[in-house]
Chain A
Amino acid sequence: MIFLFNLFYQFGDALSFLLLAAIGLAVIFGMMKIINLAHGEFITIGAYGTVVSAKILNLPLPLAMMTGVLVTVIFGYVLERIIIRHLYGRPLDSVVATWGISLIVSQSFLVLFGPSFEGLKTPLSNFQLGEYSYSQYRLLLIFISILILVLLYVFFLKSNFGTLARATIENPKIAATLGVKVDKVYMVTFCIGSALAGLTGAIYAPTMTIVPSIGQAFIVSAFVTVVTAGASPFIGLIPAASFLSLIQTSVTFYYHATIGILALLFSVILIIRFLPNGFSGLLIKLKK
């Protein structure tokens, strides 16, 4: 029983990490076909926003997290207006430009805040089960990550904006002739993606040491999850993240954390080789 719970905990922890790391990237990629290479730095901004407002302004943690998200959204908004919107329709250029942004942000954080920043205490307490100790907060994260995904799914499926956004991905030109302000839809979508990345940073801020390269811990997981999820990340995200975390957890369980990461990458390469459209492509094919 304890063994099973331990496995569930490890699996859920890896799953929520992959889901939360990928979700902001998935929204921006799924809706706009732009890979935001600065995604990791958006997470960094969310984390720093949270920690700085909690430490220096002495805000309570939930408020500090909201500040972190808000700062990230403002940053995303400004960036979209100044640079990203000029690169729609040039996907490779937008990747390159966001990479430049990622370098600027991470190195500026290094200059501004130094190589490391005192972190926060993980909220909630630990509990003991057998010989292992578990963090309640991390357990909570598993449910939070799934809740966010469900809310997002409902939002893009049921809300008015969701309909406009889906019309825009389907065919931007026709959507525009029907009076959809495509430019605005893209802007809002980018801001939602930024907010989700900031939220990931804010949520993980109390569990990690805050360093300027904190975003890099998320970025590879985020990319591999979105890539294996395929062309429609909303459908593919959960199966992709579950499959990858299953592989990572089981390999890490038997061997070593680094071997777990290697197994993760290797399985991604195999998945892409044999399922070029990712898990969403497979699901759509099965449905037909």
Chain B
Amino acid sequence: MSVLAFAEQRGGVLRQVALETVAAGRALADGLGVELVAVLLGPPTLANEADRLGRYGADRVMLATAEPLADYAPEAYTDLLARAVQECGPKALILPASAQGKDLAPRVAARLKAGLASDVTELAVEDGRVIAVRPVYAGKLLAKVGFKTDPALLTVRARAYTAAENPRPGEVEEMTPEVDPEGLRTRVRLVAGEKKARPDVAEAEIIVAGGRGMQGPENWTLLEELADALGPGATLGASRAVVDAGWRPHAEQVGQTGKVVAPPLYFAIGISGAIQHVAGMRTARCIVAVNKDAEAPILKVADYGIVGDLFEVIPRLTQEIRKFRSEG
């Protein structure tokens, strides 16, 4: 018996969510009293990364490398994951709730005719059954679900589990992938990688989000400076109002028709706190709000608020953070 964890890579390097998926898998495998097998698919250079999966908690690693697996290849990845499931007969298969995981998991579920719980934030074992908690209605409610089919398929939300060193044998077994590039009907090419200066809003440690109170896209330099001061883990977010107004790209939108996020620290700057926005960020560990309106709903969900003119408060905040960062 086992739990399988899909370890996502990009450009031959494990992504942070791969280690988080392994951490979630480790917790579930321990709860079930079974071994954890990580599945790693990618280019030939990937073999160097397989050892890290053992260090982060995988008992075994199933590795399939081939040039056509370098970028995400939906059909080939589906075939290989389905094959890993057939070989291991796991109780559960966990994928990250990343762009790739959310595309791949439904394909595998349809292939296996197995139930899939998306975007899970909490996993548990009750009477030997896998139980998952997942936000629905963008987090306005939480659904606790059980599985009627085996294996339980899950995608786990970024930052729901923390990657931690937990050394295991991590013995690597090579799967021989038989990938015929001609047989792949979908060709996928990654255009931008993670070279971009800031992390994705769904995966960032700190989010500096701006709303209509920013008064215009030209004022975003204020938030960029604050994010820069906070360090490389910080990124920019936006409310629906400013995305709809065309001030910021949709990729930054937090809320019900944007991304649901759970960073350790969230700054809501000039955001009033509409219900659909709050649903998307209420599970942040710490929320800071800056708003000129003392009655703004965002101040009721924020851990710390400052009432005042953001054009005065934010530069000061950036300055104070730079000061203590430079003090080390």
**Do A and B assemble together?**
no
**Interfacial residues, chain A to chain B (CB-CB below 8 A):** none
Q: Which residues of B contact A (CB under 8 A)?
A: none
